[in-house]
């Protein structure tokens, strides 16, 4: 049986330049905030936003916020990553294998940053910077948007997914502040670090796919044994 490979939509040179500059800018923000977290801890802005967010906190809203926070946890994102990988496996093996690899890289990134900065959260729990919920959500949703774009899904699909992803990330970021799990700079660090990582991965995948756009997704049909021809004297 032959599986028809999915057509791959490459980035234009202009798109690559834009993503490169955006990735550099996001990486710079992530590193600057990490240095601040390592040297000074929570800033005055962090303290002010914490006071504002905790001023009118209610149990009812907190339940909703904790539910929204769960969307950025590994309990949700890791199974979704496995589902995405499984859906891609028969049609584009390289993207299917990239999905869990990208998720694993994001876990390494956030774990190293937390261990190096070692900043306490506003609720005194350790390992605050960056917000893993925000960073993980940005990475998964960013890759989902890219996959829909690269595989030439209908424009309204990936654009609608992009809008929904932005709303989801903002909601998760707000929920982490509301439940007092992170400082404002942790949330911005998760956002900037996640974007920088996604942009880098997208550029690498786009470059790799140019050399093998099919991603080894095709299965050659079994060879048919040649039948001897019958000759006739007529």
Q: How many domains, in total, are found in the chain?
A: 1
Q: Look up residue 168 and give its DSSP letter.
A: H
Considering the domain boundaries, does residue 23 fall inside one?
A: yes
Yes or no: say if 193 and 25 are a contact pair by the CB < 8 Å rule.
no
pLDDT computed for residue 155 by the predictor: 77
SS3 53: helix
Give the domain range for residue 19. 13-210
- pLDDT on residue 95: 86
The contacts of residue 233 (CB under 8 Å, 6+ apart) are none
In a domain, 68, yes or no: yes
| Blockwise average pLDDT, block size 10, the chain, 234 residues | 57 92 97 91 88 87 94 94 90 86 95 93 90 96 91 80 95 95 96 97 88 48 45 41
Query: Which among 71, 95, 73 is positioned nearest to 84, based on CA atoms?
Result: 95
Model pTM score: 0.85
Structure confidence at residue 212 (pLDDT): 62
- Residue 114 placed within a domain: yes
Residue 94 within any structural domain of the chain: yes
24: which 2 tokens?
A: 């550099």
- The answer as to whether 6 is a domain residue is no
Q: Mark 66-81 as b/e (b = at least 16 C-beta within 10 Å).
A: eebbebbeeeebbeeb
Q: Is residue 228 part of a domain?
A: no
In a domain, 229, yes or no: no
Is 222 a domain residue?
A: no
pLDDT of residue 31: 96
pLDDT value for 94: 84
DSSP-derived 3-state class of residue 218 = coil
Q: What pLDDT shows up at residue 6?
A: 52
């Amino acid at each position: 049986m032959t599986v028809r490979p999915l057509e791959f939509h490459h980035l234009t040179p202009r798109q690559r330049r834009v993503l490169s500059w955006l990735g550099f800018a996001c990486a710079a923000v992530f590193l600057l905030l990490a240095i601040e977290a390592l040297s000074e801890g929570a800033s005055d802005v962090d303290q002010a936003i914490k006071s504002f967010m905790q001023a009118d906190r209610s149990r009812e809203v907190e339940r909703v916020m904790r539910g929204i926070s769960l969307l950025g946890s590994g309990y949700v994102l890791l199974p979704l990553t496995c589902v995405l990988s499984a859906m891609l496996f028969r049609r584009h093996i390289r993207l299917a294998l990239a999905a869990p690899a990208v998720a694993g890289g994001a876990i390494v990134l956030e774990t190293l940053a937390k261990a190096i900065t070692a900043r306490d959260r506003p609720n005194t729990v350790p390992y605050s910077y960056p917000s893993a919920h925000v960073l993980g959500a940005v990475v998964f949703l960013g890759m989902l948007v890219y996959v829909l774009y690269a595989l030439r899904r209908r424009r309204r699909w990936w654009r609608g997914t992009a809008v929904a992803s932005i709303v989801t990330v903002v909601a998760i970021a707000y929920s982490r502040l509301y439940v007092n799990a992170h400082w404002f700079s942790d949330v911005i660090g998760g956002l900037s670090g996640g974007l920088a990582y996604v942009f880098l991965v997208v550029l690498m995948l786009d470059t790799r796919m140019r050399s093998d756009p099919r991603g080894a997704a095709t299965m050659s049909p079994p060879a048919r044994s040649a039948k001897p021809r019958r000759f006739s004297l007529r």
